[in-house]
Amino acid sequence: MTGHVIDTNVLLVASAAEPYSPFDESHVPPAEQAAVLDWLAAFRADESREIVIDDFFEIYKEYRHRLTDQDYGLQVVHEKLQTARFVGLEWDADGMAVVPPAFAAFDRSDRKLLAAALVDPAAISIVNAVDSDWLEIETELREAGVTVVQVLDLWLRAQAEPG
C-alpha cells in the first residue's frame, strides 16, 4: 500500500469548491483544475493507494470544515476512509501536531499533515496542488525523507516566483 496525506487544497481544487489559490490575484486555471481532478480520480480508483488520517481525526475535521458532502473531494475521502491508514500523532498544548525542530517555523495548521507523513516517510507522501508553503521547506523535507507529490509542480513554481 502507498499512503497519501492529502492537503485540503487538492480536494478543494478537484471539487471546484471555491476558486482556491494562495495568490491574491490569480485563480487555478481550468486546465490545472482538470489535472488535480484527474489525480484525485486516479487515487480514488487505485485500491493500492490509501488515505492517511491522524487518529484524532484532525485532518478529517479540516476537510469537513472546508468541504460539503456534495463535493467530489470529500466523497473520495469518505470512500477511502474504509481502507485508511490511521497514524498516531503527538499534540502540543495548543492542539497543534508536534513536528521536529527543523520545521518549527512551518505553517501551524499544516503541521498535522507533515507529522502524519513523518510517521513513515518511506511509505507516506504528502499530496499538494497549490500551497506554496511546501515549496518553501523542500530542503528540510528532503532531509527528513518526506516526499511531496506536487500535482501542479510547474504551475505552482511559476506562481510562487517573485515578480
What's the chain's average pLDDT?
A: 93
What confidence tier does 23 reach under pLDDT thresholds 50, 70, 90? very low
Residue 75 CB contacts under 8 Å (≥ 6 apart), including other chains: 69
| CATH pick for 2-160 out of 2.130.10, 3.40.50, 2.60.40, 3.30.70 | 3.40.50
Q: Judge contact between 102 and 143, C-beta under 8 A.
A: yes
Q: Judge contact between 7 and 131, C-beta under 8 A.
A: yes
The pTM of the full predicted model, rounded to 2 decimals, is 0.94
Percent of the chain surpassing pLDDT 70? 93
Q: Judge contact between 5 and 124, C-beta under 8 A.
A: yes
